[in-house]
Amino acid sequence: MLTLEKTHDEARQGEAFAPFSEDPNQYSRHFYIESYGCQMNFADSEVVASILQEKGFGATRDVEKANLILLNTCSIREKAEQTVRKRLTEFKKLKKQQKGLLIGVLGCMAERLKSKLLEEEKLVDLVVGPDAYRTLPQLIEEAGTGQKAVNVLLSRDETYADISPVRIDSNGVSAYVSIMRGCNNMCSFCVVPFTRGRERSRDDRSILKECQDLFDQGYREATLLGQNVDSYHFTPETGGDAVNFAQLLEQVAKISPLLRVRFSTSHPKDITDEVLHTMARNKNICRYIHLPVQSGSTRVLQLMNRTYTREWYKAKVERIWEILPDCSITSDIISGFCTETEEDHQETLDIMRFSRYDFSYMFFYSERPGTLAQRRYADDIPESVKKERLQQIVHLQNELSLASNKKDIGKVFEVLIEGNSKRDENAWMGRSSQNKVIIFPKTLEGLQPGDYVHVKVEQCSQATLLGNIVSTI
C-alpha cells in the first residue's frame, strides 16, 4: 500500500495540485487536474497529462481557464470520498457559468461510484478508471457531444509502460516512477484490489529508460512506486530472465551514484534479504523503508489478512537494522479495526516503541464497501474509541519522531537540496537519505537544487532538522 496524502514532506504537502503549461498560448484547449490520495495517483496524473498533451490539451493552474476539469480520486477512506464530492459540487456551479466545460472523475472512485456520479447526482460528464486513461481523448469527444462517457474496465496488463509522464508541479529534483499497478494482497480493510485490480509489473527496460531520462534532465531522485514493490516481477515476452525487485533496484541505482533511489511501499511479508543487501551495497539507495505494520496484535493482523504475526514483523525490523544500521523505518497504522480490544491497542503502541518509527501515517478504521472486512466482520468499535486510540497513537508517534530527531543532533548528513525553505528564502530545504527534511542557511554561493551538501544538524523539532553546511560534495 502506498503512503497517503498527509506527508511530512515540506515540498510535497497538500492534497491537491494543478499542473501548468509553460506557454499557456501553445494550446487551444486546457485541462485542470487535482489529485487526491496516494503517490500512485499523483504519478497517474502525470500519465494523464501526457496523454492529454499529445491530443492538444495544455495544463492550467487556473480552474476558470479550463475546458476540462479532472479529479483524480481516492476511495481508501470515507473521508477521502467526501472531500471529492464536496469539490464536485463546487465545480458544478462553475459549469453553469462556463459553456462547454466538462468535468471528469478519474481514479479509484470511478469504478465504485460511476452510476451514482453520472446518473443520480449528475455531477460529472466522464468517469474513467485507473486502467482506462488511454481512452480519455475518445471519452472527452463523446462527453463533448452530450453523451455520458464511461470506461472503468480494469486490465490485467496495462502499465502505461510506453508513456513518458509529463512532470507536473515538479521541483525538478525528485520524481515518481511507477513500476507496477494493482495489488493481489487482499488485506481485509482495503479497497485497492477492487479499485485498481490485479497486480502487474512494468517492463524493466521502460523503467530504466524513464529513470535515465530523468537523470539526464537533471533530476536526482527517483521514487519507484507500487502498492507492494517487493513483489515486482517482470518476465520479458521475448524470453530471457525474469527480473525481481532487488535486481530492478540495483539496475536503477547503477544509472549514476548521483541518482538517489527510493521506493514505496514494502509489505513486511515480502521484503527480502536480497533487497536489504542490495541497499547495503548501493549507497545511493536511500536508507529508508516504509514498512506498514497496520496493527501490533497478531490476532488483529490475522483478521486484517496481513499474513504475518507480531513476532515476524519485529524480526523483520531487527533484520533491517542488522543489515542497514542507519535505516529509517516508517509505518501505516490503523486504530479501531473490527473487534480490536484495549489489549490489542496496547500491543500496537508497544510495537511502535519497539520499531522506533521515524514517522507514521495514522488512521482510524473506515469500513469500505465490498472489502473482505465489510463482508465478514462487524465494524463494532465505537467511533469515539477509534478516535481516542488514534490520538494515543499520534501522541506516541510525535514522541518517537522527536526522540529520533534529537539523536541526529551533532551528526553530519549528506543532503540533496530540493529548493528554498518554505518559510525562509535565505535557507535551503533538502533531505537526508533517511528522508528527513533538513533546513539550513544559504551560507555558500553557487549551490542550486539538485546539488548535494554535507550538513551538520544543530537543532530539531519533531518534524524538521535544522543545521549548517559543513562541506560540498
Cβ proximity to ligand SF4, 193 vs 449, nearer residue: 193
* CA angle (223 as vertex; 221, 229 as ends), nearest 5: 150
Other beta carbons less than 10 A from residue 114's beta carbon: 19
Cβ proximity to ligand SF4, 30 vs 267, nearer residue: 267
77 binds, among ligand SF4, ligand 5AD, none (CB under 5 to 8 A by kind): ligand 5AD
440 binds, among ligand SF4, ligand 5AD, none (CB under 5 to 8 A by kind): none
Under a CB-based contact definition with an 8 Å cutoff, are residues 104 and 68 in contact? yes
- Footprint of ligand SF4 on 265-304 (CB under 6 A): 267
Answer positive or negative: Cα dihedral of 394, 404, 421, 168: negative
Other beta carbons less than 10 A from residue 169's beta carbon: 17
Under a CB-based contact definition with an 8 Å cutoff, are residues 253 and 402 in contact? no
Beta strands in 309-436 (DSSP E): 328-335, 359-364, 412-420, 427-431
Beta strand pairing status for 221-225 and 233-234? unpaired
Site string for ligand SF4, 379-398 (x = CB under 6 A): --------------------
Q: How many Cα atoms occupy the beta-carbon half-sphere of 136 within 13 Å?
A: 30
Cβ proximity to ligand SF4, 138 vs 184, nearer residue: 184
265 preceded by a cis bond (ω within 30 of 0): yes
Q: How many Cα atoms occupy the beta-carbon half-sphere of 438 within 13 Å?
A: 32
Q: Which stretch binds ligand SF4 (CB under 6 A): 136-144, 180-188, 385-393, 431-439?
A: 180-188
Cβ proximity to ligand 5AD, 135 vs 328, nearer residue: 328
At 245, which helix (H) or strand (E)?
helix 245-253
Choosing from 73, 227, 278, 328, the residue that interacts with ligand SF4 (CB under 6 A) is 227
Cβ proximity to ligand 5AD, 234 vs 365, nearer residue: 365
Using CB under 6 A as the binding criterion, the count of chain residues that bind ligand SF4 stands at 11
Residue 299 CB, nearest distance to ligand 5AD (Å)? 18
Q: Decide if residue 51 touches ligand SF4 (CB under 6 A).
A: no
Cβ proximity to ligand SF4, 21 vs 331, nearer residue: 331
Residue 200 CB, nearest distance to ligand SF4 (Å)? 13
Contact set with ligand 5AD (CB under 6 A): 1, 4, 76-77, 189-190, 292, 294, 332, 334, 363, 365-366, 368
Residues 6 or more apart from 177 whose CB is under 8 A from it? 43, 207, 210, 211, 214, 222, 223, 224, 225
Q: Which stretch binds ligand SF4 (CB under 6 A): 81-89, 181-189, 309-317, 432-440?
A: 181-189
Binding positions for ligand SF4, rule: CB under 6 A: 1, 183, 185-187, 190, 192-193, 227-228, 267
